[in-house]
Amino acid sequence: MKTKLVALICLCFVSLSWAQESEDFLKYKSKYPEDRYIRLQQVQNVAIDLSKDNITIAQDFVEEDLYLDDGATINSKESLKFSSFFELESIKASAFNYDGSRYKEESVENFTESDDLGKSFYDDTKSIDFVYRNLRKGSKTRLEYKENVKDPRFLSPFYFGNYYPIENSTVEIVVHKDIDIKFLEFNTQNIDIQFEKEEKRNKNIYRWRVKNINRYTYEPDAPSFKTVVPHIIPVINSYKVDGQDIPVLTNVSDLYRWYASLVKDVNKEESSEELKSTVNNLISGLDTDLEKIKAIYYWTQENIKYIAFEYALGGFIPREANDVFNKKYGDCKDNSSILKEMLDIAGLTGNLTWVGTREIPYTYNEVPTPIVDNHMILSYTDKDETYYLDATGRYTPIDMPTSFIQGKEALIGNGPDTFTIKTIPIVPASRNAISETTKITLENDRIVGTSKAIISGYPKTRLFAQLENIDTNPKHITFYKGIFEKGNNKFLVNDFTETNKFSYENPFEVDYNFSIDDHARMLGDEIYINLNLNKIATTYKVEENRELPIENDYKQQLTYSTTFTIPKGYEVDYLPPNTKGSNSLMAFEVAYQTNNNTITYYHKVVIDFILLSVPQQKEINTLIDQVDKAYKEVIVLKKIKS
């Protein structure tokens, strides 16, 4: 009787538990057992029309989500962003909780507007913040909002994918027949998009539908979201007014003419006497144009603090050089503005230049719209050499672009109608070098040594950015312990000296003393020691099941030379073989040489890629497996018999 009663009670609890979950929850929890939530539907309706000879754009969005675990409350807080380019017209949000028989709606009543400052000094972007109440496992949310796009150049992409599954995604664009529009597809080759077009009266209707979109997995060091996820970019070429075509963004020339119109009135006022005096002092005694540009460029990097801010078209128009000089801060456009003006004062010519950072995967000819770039620099061309002067890149030498624009196209302006497009070079690995020369001795099982590290290129600028915020000796010791760690985690830096710190052009040198406990092994008459103190190549090994490419900040060359003094009374019994290997992505070399009472170990690694595709990851793993075998080799010393 007791057993039957317990079974009956358990059955009741199980039945009650299942009754608390909706059919939708059970269906999608079974379909997506590893996901925290899914998007049931994602709808975007866009109406592009003509009114009083101008283009109007209205967008409606619907997003409905279902939460599949107890972490639903994490998604309670939501926000929408809008600005002078994207005017929010209305918003409605609701949570739905299942009561055992149906979903009950709980509407959001409070919406709070705030400035979306983020890292910016000032930005006209606003946030509407709100909270879904009582979210729990099995809850749904529905968000509906409308916005007006105030400039036809700012049509946004629509994405068929995200870091969560999407059951249904629909985009419908209704376009007036006098508006010429095109649609650019990216990464859509592996998804089943149902597309249809129809005509109604004076409208063309374009519709895309996609179902059952699996989530895109986030993986570290992967290229940007838009590089991977399928999306379509609508671009308005032109529209007709009284039978005449009015160009909008037919090609790069249209985009450039718009950009040029925004900057044509910048720095029309006379340069201040203080600014002129600063320039004249900087170039005094300098003979060549390049020397003068260096002096001005490095002064700008050092003295104009980078702060990103924008307001409406302020996101595209540089501020006056006099204002930037007086305030000593500005965004990328402002840095370019003052740099150009300072070159003008010096009798030199720089060109305002637009560029998209590496997170943007498009070329100018592919996507001639403002989403193709997000950065401004100044270009200077001397004969066949172009210098890409990015004053936001503190400590970057004049002959190197900042790392995040390597390989990207630069739109170089030269007046209201003339421009050139050049590809910014990728800095070779040899320019981004870390070279260490080390001498070590053995005290029982403890290594004691001195080392000189010479650092140049992007590794140097990265170090300098970190060192700016380190102001005490103990913090320096801790920092360098992390940077130069070798052997094992018992590595300690005892003291150090720095040479050429914060130099723009000279390599940075750090001399330091260190020790490593428990690195050697003494067994009877033998000593075992591994001289592979810097196993740097293995840090580039890729997990076998990785799905996405890897993006590297820069190419790099690392060289380590270690001279080990053989303890008195011992001789070399086994010296590992020399080995080397290479492919188009990476090269390595490990070599040993004996000389009287010392062993010199040499190790070189060249990382020669910026972007590593999934097939290339297998290539580099094969090479790293060879290096790893070399890393496991140890030297054997044997006591000399008297």
Overall average pLDDT of the 47-66 stretch:
96
- Is there a single domain that holds both residue 240 and residue 274? no
Overall average pLDDT of the 365-383 stretch:
95
Q: How many CB atoms lie within 10 A of CB 442?
A: 20
466, 538 contact by CB (below 8 A): no
The whole-number pLDDT of residue 8 equals: 40
- Is there a single domain that holds both residue 189 and residue 311? no
Name the phi and psi angles at 328, rounded to 5: 65, 30
Query: Which of 423, 442, 476 is the C-terminal boundary of a domain?
Result: 423
Residue 533: pLDDT band (50, 70, 90) is: very high
pLDDT of residue 324 exceeding 80: yes
The single-letter DSSP state of residue 502 is T
CATH number for the domain including 146? 2.60.40.3140
Overall average pLDDT of the 2-12 stretch:
42
- Asked if the structure places residue 147 within a domain, the reply is yes
Higher pLDDT, 560 or 116: 560
Q: How many CB atoms lie within 10 A of CB 503?
A: 14
- Residue 204 β-bridge partners: 175, 199
Q: How far apart are CA 231 and CA 186, in angstroms?
A: 5
- Asked if the structure places residue 1 within a domain, the reply is no
The whole-number pLDDT of residue 116 equals: 58
- Is there a single domain that holds both residue 182 and residue 200? yes
Higher pLDDT, 479 or 10: 479
The single-letter DSSP state of residue 313 is G
pLDDT of residue 123 exceeding 70: no
* Beta strands 556-565 and 433-443, pairing class: parallel
CATH number for the domain including 488? 2.60.120.1130
Vertex 416 angle, CA 412 and 418, to 5°: 50
Residue 14: pLDDT band (50, 70, 90) is: very low
- Is there a single domain that holds both residue 127 and residue 195? yes
Overall average pLDDT of the 110-121 stretch:
66
Strands (E), 99-165: 103-107, 112-115, 126-131, 140-149, 158-159
- Is there a single domain that holds both residue 149 and residue 64? yes
- Is there a single domain that holds both residue 106 and residue 215? yes
Q: Alpha helices of 284-432 — where are they, by DSSP H?
A: 289-303, 321-327, 332-345
* pTM attached to this predicted model: 0.90
- Asked if the structure places residue 217 within a domain, the reply is yes
Name the phi and psi angles at 58, rounded to 5: -120, 135
- Is there a single domain that holds both residue 193 and residue 327? no
| Lateral strand order in the sheet of 526-529 | 521-523, 526-529, 635-639, 570-574
Residue 368: pLDDT band (50, 70, 90) is: very high
**pLDDT tens per residue across span 244-272:** 999 999 999 999 999 999 999 999 999 99
The whole-number pLDDT of residue 54 equals: 94
Residue 20: pLDDT band (50, 70, 90) is: confident
Q: Which amino acid is at 398?
A: I
Q: How many CB atoms lie within 10 A of CB 96?
A: 19
Q: How far apart are CA 441 and CA 461, in angstroms?
A: 32
- Asked if the structure places residue 618 within a domain, the reply is yes
pLDDT of residue 315 exceeding 80: no
Three-state secondary-structure class, residue 345: helix
**CB-based burial label for 572 (10 Å; 0-12, 13-18, 19+):** middle
Average pLDDT, the chain: 92
- Is there a single domain that holds both residue 205 and residue 297? no
The whole-number pLDDT of residue 84 equals: 79
Annotate 48-87 with DSSP letters as a single string: EEEETTEEEEEEEEEEEEEE-SGGGGGGSEEEEEE-SSEE
pLDDT of residue 94 exceeding 90: yes
The whole-number pLDDT of residue 147 equals: 95
**pLDDT tens per residue across span 347-357:** 999 999 999 99
Query: Which of 392, 423, 454 is the C-terminal boundary of a domain?
Result: 423
Q: How many CB atoms lie within 10 A of CB 450?
A: 14
Q: How many CB atoms lie within 10 A of CB 158?
A: 21
Overall average pLDDT of the 450-473 stretch:
96
Q: Which residue's structure tokens are 């007086």?
A: 326
CA-nearest of 22, 89, 64, 24 to 169 is 64
**pLDDT tens per residue across span 582-629:** 999 999 999 999 999 999 999 999 999 999 999 999 999 999 999 999
Q: How many CB atoms lie within 10 A of CB 6?
A: 10
125, 116 contact by CB (below 8 A): yes
- Asked if the structure places residue 185 within a domain, the reply is yes
Q: How far apart are CA 478 and CA 612, in angstroms?
A: 32
Q: What kind and span of H or E run contains 255?
A: helix 252-263
Torsion angle in degrees (nearest 10) through CA of 478, 481, 483, 487: -160
- Is there a single domain that holds both residue 440 and residue 497? yes
pLDDT of residue 215 exceeding 60: yes
- Is there a single domain that holds both residue 216 and residue 297? no
Annotate 178-229 with DSSP letters as a single string: TEEEEEEEES-TTS--EEEEEEETTEEEEEEEEEEEPPPPP-TTPPPHHHHS
- Residue 140 β-bridge partners: 66, 96
Kindly tell me the sign of the dihedral angle through the C-alpha atoms of 325, 328, 331, 335: positive
Specify the number of domains making up the chain. Answer: 3
- Asked if the structure places residue 8 within a domain, the reply is no
The whole-number pLDDT of residue 291 equals: 96
The single-letter DSSP state of residue 307 is -
Q: How far apart are CA 259 and CA 352, in angstroms?
A: 10
The whole-number pLDDT of residue 124 equals: 61
- Is there a single domain that holds both residue 541 and residue 490? yes
Share of the chain above pLDDT 90, in %: 87
Residue 364: pLDDT band (50, 70, 90) is: very high
Q: What kind and span of H or E run contains 275?
A: helix 273-283
pLDDT of residue 318 exceeding 60: yes
Tokens of 163: 């870091």
- Asked if the structure places residue 9 within a domain, the reply is no
- Structural domain including 104 reads 18-247
Q: Which residue's structure tokens are 């290096």?
A: 627
Residues 6+ positions from 587 with CB-CB distance below 8 Å: 580, 581, 604, 605, 606, 608
- Is there a single domain that holds both residue 55 and residue 112? yes
**pLDDT tens per residue across span 82-91:** 887 889 999 9
CA-nearest of 198, 148, 206, 147 to 174 is 206
The whole-number pLDDT of residue 641 equals: 87
Q: How far apart are CA 473 and CA 479, in angstroms?
A: 10
Tokens of 569: 């009374």
Reduced 3-state DSSP string for 352-419: EEEECCCCCCCCCCCCCCHHHCCEEEEEEEECCEEEEECCCCCCCCCCCCCHHHCCCEEEEECCCCCE
Instruction: Give the side-chain half-sphere CA count within 13 A for 70.
Output: 0
332, 390 contact by CB (below 8 A): yes
**pLDDT tens per residue across span 423-447:** 999 999 999 999 999 999 999 889 9
Query: Which of 394, 423, 452 is the C-terminal boundary of a domain?
Result: 423
Residue 81: pLDDT band (50, 70, 90) is: confident
CATH number for the domain including 403? 3.10.620.30
- Asked if the structure places residue 60 within a domain, the reply is yes
Q: How far apart are CA 452 and CA 434, in angstroms?
A: 10
